[in-house]
Each structure stands twice: as C-alpha cells, then as structure tokens.
C-alpha cells in the first residue's frame, strides 16, 4: 500500500485513522476517559478557542506519546539557523529594484538539511506581535534524520524549485514536487527528506492563515478550486529513538528539545487545521478576452488577509501558461509603481516580461513605489507584434509574493549571498524616447 494518499478539499473537516488501527478515533466525543488502543488525546489549536465558527481551526490527535514528553528546549543556532532572522534593521533601507541570480546549492562536501538550509531574504513586522511576513529560500542536500521541525511564529508556504520534498508530518506523508506547493500551518511538526540537491522558496506569514481569495464577480468557480487541495491521510510510527530532536522556530530563533521517541506517532486524527499541497497546473486561469492587461490579482492562488478588507499581508500569485488574445493591447505586464511590495521567483522556464537575467532559482524584489515593468527588448517586441491569439508562458512558472508591508532586505540577501545583480537597472536603460508631436 502506498504511504502517499490524500483527502481532497480546502478548509474541510477531515477524519483519518491509520488502517493498521481500525476504530482508533473515539466515537461521539474528543476526550474519552480512556482512548482506543491506550492513545493520548491532544488538541492542536490554530485559532483562538473563541474565534467565530467559520474561522475556527483545530485538530484532535490520538497519539502514542503526548507532545509534552520532551526535555527542555536549548538553543539550536550553532547547528542551524545561522541565516534565519527577523532583524529588519541590520541593513539600511534600499529602494532600488533588486534581482538575484540563482541562489547557491550546498557544496558537494557539505551536508545541509532543510532546517540548516533556511536563509531569510527579506520581510517586515514582528513574530512576537503576530504581524508581518518573511521570505526565505532553502538550499539543502540531505534528509532530516531523527528530527522534526515546527514553526511557532506562523505558517510556511513552501514553493519547491528544484528537487522533490518528501515530507512526513504528524498528519501523514506527502510528496511535493516543483510546480506544486504545500502549506504547513503554525505549530505542525514535520520532517523533510530529499534526494540530492534541493532548492526552493518560502513565504512565512505571522498574522493569519492562508485562505482562498474571494471570487466576487467571477462567480462560484475559477482560480484555484477547493477540490484540488490535498491533505495526507493518517500514518504513524511507534519508534524509540535516542535523542530524537524537535526543533522549534520561536520568536525568530531556533531551539531544540530532545526526546526518546519519534513525534510522528499520531495513529488517528480529525479536524480542519491541517497541512496541504496543491498542483499549480490545476489553476483555472481567468483573463481578458477583449482588451487591456488585467491586474495580477486575477492570478492569486492563496491570500493571507490583513485587518483591512481587500488588502493582504501576503498574496501568493502565479503566472501560468495561458492564452493571450487581447486586441489593441500591449499584452505583457504594464509599467507600474505599487503601494505593495512584490517579491518574484521563477520555478522553471523564462518569465515573459524579462526573458534574460531572471533565472529559475533566482528572484526579484520591487519595493513600495519603486517603478518596474518590461525590459527594453520585451517592450519593443510586444509593441510591434501581430496581435494574433498566442500561447504565453508555455513551459514556464513564475510566481509572486505580494505584500501590503514594506519589506526590508537582510544582510544575507543584500551582501552575504553574493547573488544580487548590480546591473539589473540596465535592462530599462535602452528604452527609447518614442514621443512624436504630430
């Protein structure tokens, strides 16, 4: 039997039990005096107990050992997290357009796991006050052995770019390949196994959890459909381990607690606070079929809303393969200055507005009110192209983390990584003055 099976639906209330232990879920209540199989009942709350029912998120675990059975937490920052930070004041602000060449993989003689390979590029806000976000990249080449990781600060939206992530969670197992994403909400424990060099991007949000965007006039269907989100089924191991490590990201720092058993010992669970994955190729693109280039919000997959209606702490937006048919229209993205911050990454292929210099595994950041748009080559080509129906972005998947917060770049992002492209500004210098007074 395959260990990778899923239940479908976004925001659904699921029930799952490992088939090796039938009837492990208690009947009719959450905390019986004695749970089936001698298990412990444990609740994981993703929202306040008193949150409105439509927003309330929690899961009940039925596990072999309670999570509290561990030794005290100690600092883990000598072993990992060297470049993980939420200190947004370590560099002076820089409003320039920024572009990074592909971030370096670990050297062949290095052994770096997922946690050790986390590097913060930019962000804003404060995990302690539960407001803000961070953008990280990960580069790793070995699996997490006899250890698990969880984030006390917020949710991780993980975007693999190279290499498959084989993720074991307290809920079960899932595989996440490039052109798929997964979300691991706050507090959920998991381990990442890899085969060879692996790289990707992470959007972390502190305020809230990710939601599907409202569709408004689009109607009931379109964009990312709820049925295409997948949550793993229950799977457990009853394994005694000497010094199993549980690593916690807490207030921006890493801590580790030792215990003598695997934390992946959940035999059954039920609830709506779950990890999930999504295949980006299933996104139902909505676009103009008459004229003009629509705003990129039509490509929003998931959103983390702020307290201000219609304004996000972060949106996850993609630019997938699609047909372009607009008449009398400059079809690529328009030139733009924005009250939002825009961090872009490239999973595969070439981005339509900048086919040179922006490479898979690299990134760009266009900060608040910093102008950006197509490079000179793209502008000339699109301004003179025959406007026949055409397939755009074929073989490409670019994405954007867009935020209403003004993000600061870390020292690692601006200096240490040595991947910032100092010549990025040159892509606009060849734009001509085409003004003609007639």
- Top pLDDT among 214 and 77 is at 214
Q: Which residue in 77, 336, 390, 415 is the catalytic one?
A: 336
d(CA 86, CA 149): 18
Out of 17, 366, 402, 414, the active site residue is 366
pLDDT for position 47: 97
Mean pLDDT of the chain: 96
Any bridge partners for residue 45, and if so which? 58
Q: Which listed residue (342, 352, 402, 414) is catalytic?
A: 342
Residue 203 reports pLDDT greater than 70? yes
pLDDT for residue 33 is more than 70: yes
Dihedral sign computed on CA atoms, order 137, 161, 362, 145: positive
Residue 79 has pLDDT above 60, yes or no: yes
Q: Are 408 and 89 in contact (CB under 8 A)?
A: yes
pLDDT digit string, tens, across residues 133-168: 999 999 999 999 999 999 999 999 999 999 999 999
Q: Residue 355 — pLDDT band, cuts 50, 70, 90?
A: low
Q: Is 342 a catalytic residue?
A: yes
211 included as an active-site residue: no
At 353, is the pLDDT very low, low, confident or very high (cuts 50, 70, 90)? low
Q: Averaged over 255-284, what is the pLDDT?
A: 98
Tell me the pLDDT tens digit for each residue of 9-32.
999 999 999 999 999 999 999 999
- Report the percentage of the chain scoring pLDDT > 90: 95
Catalytic: 327? no
Is the pLDDT at 1 greater than 60? The verdict is no
pLDDT band per the 50, 70, 90 thresholds, residue 438: confident
pLDDT category of residue 241 using cuts at 50, 70 and 90: very high
pLDDT digit string, tens, across residues 89-103: 999 999 999 999 999
% of the chain surpassing 70 pLDDT: 99
pLDDT at 2: 67
Active-site annotation holder among 136, 352, 372, 402: 372
> What digits encode the pLDDT tens for the residues 366-422?
999 999 999 999 999 999 999 999 999 999 999 999 999 999 999 999 999 999 999
- Give residue 257's pLDDT: 98
Of 211, 253, 261, 293, which residue is the catalytic one? 293
What's this model's pTM, rounded to 2 decimal places? 0.97
Is-catalytic flag, 86? no
pLDDT of the residue at 357: 78
């Amino acid at each position: 039997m395959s260990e990778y099976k899923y239940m479908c639906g976004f925001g659904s209330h699921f029930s799952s039990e490992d088939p090796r232990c039938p009837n492990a879920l208690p009947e009719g209540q959450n905390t019986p005096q004695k749970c089936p199989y001698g298990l412990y009942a444990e609740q994981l709350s993703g929202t306040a107990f008193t949150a409105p029912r439509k927003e309330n998120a929690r899961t009940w675990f039925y596990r072999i050992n309670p999570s509290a059975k561990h030794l005290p937490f100690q600092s883990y920052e000598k072993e990992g997290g060297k470049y993980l930070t939420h200190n947004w004041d370590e560099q002076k602000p820089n409003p320039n357009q920024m572009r990074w060449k592909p971030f370096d993989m670990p050297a062949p003689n290095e052994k770096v796991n997922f946690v050790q390979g986390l590097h913060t590029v930019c962000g804003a806000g404060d995990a302690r006050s539960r407001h803000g976000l961070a953008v990280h990249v990960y580069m790793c080449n070995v699996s997490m052995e006899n250890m698990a990781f969880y984030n006390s600060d917020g949710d991780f939206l993980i975007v693999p770019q190279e290499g498959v992530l084989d993720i074991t969670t307290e809920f079960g197992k899932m595989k996440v390949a490039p052109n798929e994403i997964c979300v691991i909400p706050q507090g959920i424990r998991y381990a990442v196994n890899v085969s060879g060099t692996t790289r990707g991007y992470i959007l972390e949000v502190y305020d809230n959890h990710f939601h599907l965007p409202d569709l408004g006039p689009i109607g009931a269907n379109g964009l990312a459909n709820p049925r295409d989100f997948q949550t793993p089924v229950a799977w457990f191991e009853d394994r005694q381990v000497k010094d199993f490590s549980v690593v916690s990201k807490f207030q921006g720092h890493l801590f580790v607690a030792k215990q003598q058993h695997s934390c992946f010992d959940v035999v059954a669970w039920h609830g709506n606070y779950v990890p999930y994955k999504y295949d980006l190729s299933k996104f139902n693109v909505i676009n103009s079929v008459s004229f003009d280039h629509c705003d990129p919000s039509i490509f929003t997959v998931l959103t983390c809303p702020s307290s201000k209606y219609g304004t996000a702490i972060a949106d996850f937006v993609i630019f997938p393969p699609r047909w372009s048919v607009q008449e009398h229209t400059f079809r690529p993205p328009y030139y733009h200055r924005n009250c939002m911050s825009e961090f872009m990454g490239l999973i595969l292929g070439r981005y339509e507005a900048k086919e040179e210099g922006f490479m898979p595994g690299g990134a760009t950041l266009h900060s608040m009110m910093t102008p950006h748009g197509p490079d000179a080559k793209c502008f000339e080509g699109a301004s003179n192209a025959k406007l026949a129906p055409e397939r755009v972005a074929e073989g490409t998947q670019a994405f954007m983390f867009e935020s209403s917060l003004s993000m600061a770049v870390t020292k690692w992002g601006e200096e240490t990584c040595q991947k910032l492209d100092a010549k990025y500004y040159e892509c606009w210098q060849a734009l001509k003055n085409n003004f003609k007074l007639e």
